[in-house]
Amino acid sequence: MIQRKTESANSEVIDAISSFLASPPEGTPAEIIEAFDTLGTKEILPPKLFLETVEQAPVAISITDPSAKILYVNYAFEQLTGFERDEIVGKNQSVLSCNSTPLSVYQDLWRSIQNRHMWQGNIVNHRKDQQEYLAELIVSPVLNAEGQIIYYLGMHRDITELQQQLSDISKKT
């Protein structure tokens, strides 16, 4: 299953880049090779390995543009939210938002990330089937060489059960 998802995540493009780098056609300008090389060859892990690692990470990962439009989600994100990547890519992250989370939490999130800081907190999300879950969310900006925000990275996990266990423990003590 993971393998199938990996394949559907642009791995054809990554394969093409990897084989291009393995034997660039004669006469290819050095700048072109260098540009692709920075995507990962010798010192840096190959892009395919990066993708497979992110794909198989046991935490829901999304990459968005600066307006929070989703560009990529990993397999754990699909499993947790119930959204297939084909139906969620292109939508805003707010597709997961729930009225249970106070507006001030989102305002705090955006203030932090727009100031190039990482934000971490708990919010209530809902899955595709509308079932709610408590998410421990980390959002961090991805900057280019000029220090501009080009993407946001989101990572979250379901802590509903953990929260319930903590509350049960505190009731007993």
Query: Where do contacts with ligand FAD occur on this chain (CB under 6 A)?
Result: 62, 64, 67-68, 92-94, 96-97, 103, 106-107, 109-110, 123, 125, 135, 137, 139, 152, 154, 156
CB of 78 to ligand FAD, least distance (A): 14
Residue number, nearest CB to ligand FAD = 154
Rg, the chain, Cα only: 19
What residues does 154 pair with on adjacent strands?
62, 139
Q: Quick one: 36 or 106, whose CB is closer to ligand FAD? A: 106
CB of 132 to ligand FAD, least distance (A): 11
SS3 assignment, position 102 = coil
CB of 155 to ligand FAD, least distance (A): 8
First to last CA, the chain: 44
Q: Quick one: 100 or 164, whose CB is closer to ligand FAD? A: 100
Structure tokens that stand for 155 in this block: 């990572």
Q: Quick one: 51 or 63, whose CB is closer to ligand FAD? A: 63
Q: Quick one: 6 or 81, whose CB is closer to ligand FAD? A: 81
173 vs 163: CA distance, rounded Å: 16
CB of 18 to ligand FAD, least distance (A): 28
Strands 132-143 and 119-126: antiparallel
Contact assessment for residue 88 and residue 42, using Cβ atoms and an 8 Å cutoff: no
